[in-house]
């Protein structure tokens, strides 16, 4: 599967999600989908980013957008993270990295002097018809949610 680009229709992916369900992109036809990829549950930056989406969820909903978080963590780990942080949106488990590869977010990173493959913090906006309309890569946690909301207000 090749990575998608702005203007492409996103394939109707399916992923295991919190709440014991399986989520398909087509479940959200008619709504904008904010799909954010983050490295790991229960880490400082990922917690801050999730909290920012949580704290602004009303604004996303008012703009006809749903928020979905994605990492390679298991659904079980996601359940604990979601509960602990009171996230009002689902977290998707991508343990086989199929979504990570579709959106081309796996990068080589240096961690404690070793090279590892990990998720580059990225967000994608999919429109009501399933078309990728915007992407943010190398996201800066502190300003990111405001950037996404600003764009959504003009979309």
Please report, for residues 12, 100, 101, 103, 115, the alpha-carbon distance to residue 48 in angstroms, rounded to integers and kept in the order given.
29, 21, 24, 22, 25
The catalytic position among 4, 46, 99, 119 is 46
The reply to whether 83 belongs to the active site is: no
> What is this structure's pTM?
0.94
Tell me whether strands 32-37 and 65-71 are parallel, antiparallel or unpaired.
parallel
Q: What is the mean pLDDT of the chain?
A: 94
Q: In the beta sheet, which residues pair with residue 132?
A: 126
Cα separation of 11 and 47, whole Å? 28
Fold of 30-154: Glutaredoxin (3.40.30)
pLDDT digits (tens, 9 = 90+) for 102-121: 999 988 777 678 887 889 99
pLDDT computed for residue 149 by the predictor: 97
115 class by beta-carbon count within 10 Å (0-12 exposed, 13-18 middle, 19+ buried): exposed
Cβ-based neighbour number of residue 46 at 10 Å: 22
* Domain assignments of the chain as residue spans, ordered by start: 30-154
| Residue 2 pLDDT class (50, 70, 90 cuts) | low
pLDDT digits (tens, 9 = 90+) for 58-75: 999 999 999 999 999 999
């Amino acid at each position: 599967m090749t990575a998608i680009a702005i203007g492409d229709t996103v394939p109707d992916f399916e992923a295991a999600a919190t709440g014991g369900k399986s989520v398909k992109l087509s479940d959200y036809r008619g709504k904008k989908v904010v799909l954010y990829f983050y490295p790991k549950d229960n880490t400082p930056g990922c917690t801050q980013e999730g909290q920012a989406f949580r704290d602004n969820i009303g604004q996303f909903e008012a703009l006809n957008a749903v928020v979905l978080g994605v990492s390679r963590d298991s659904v079980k780990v996601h359940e604990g993270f979601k509960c602990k942080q009171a996230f009002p949106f689902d977290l998707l488990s991508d343990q086989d990295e199929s979504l990570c590869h579709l959106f081309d977010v796996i990068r080589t990173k240096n961690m404690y002097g070793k090279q590892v493959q990990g998720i580059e913090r990225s967000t994608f906006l999919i429109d009501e018809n399933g078309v990728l309309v915007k992407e943010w890569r190398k996201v800066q946690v502190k300003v990111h949610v405001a950037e996404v909301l600003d764009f959504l207000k003009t979309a």
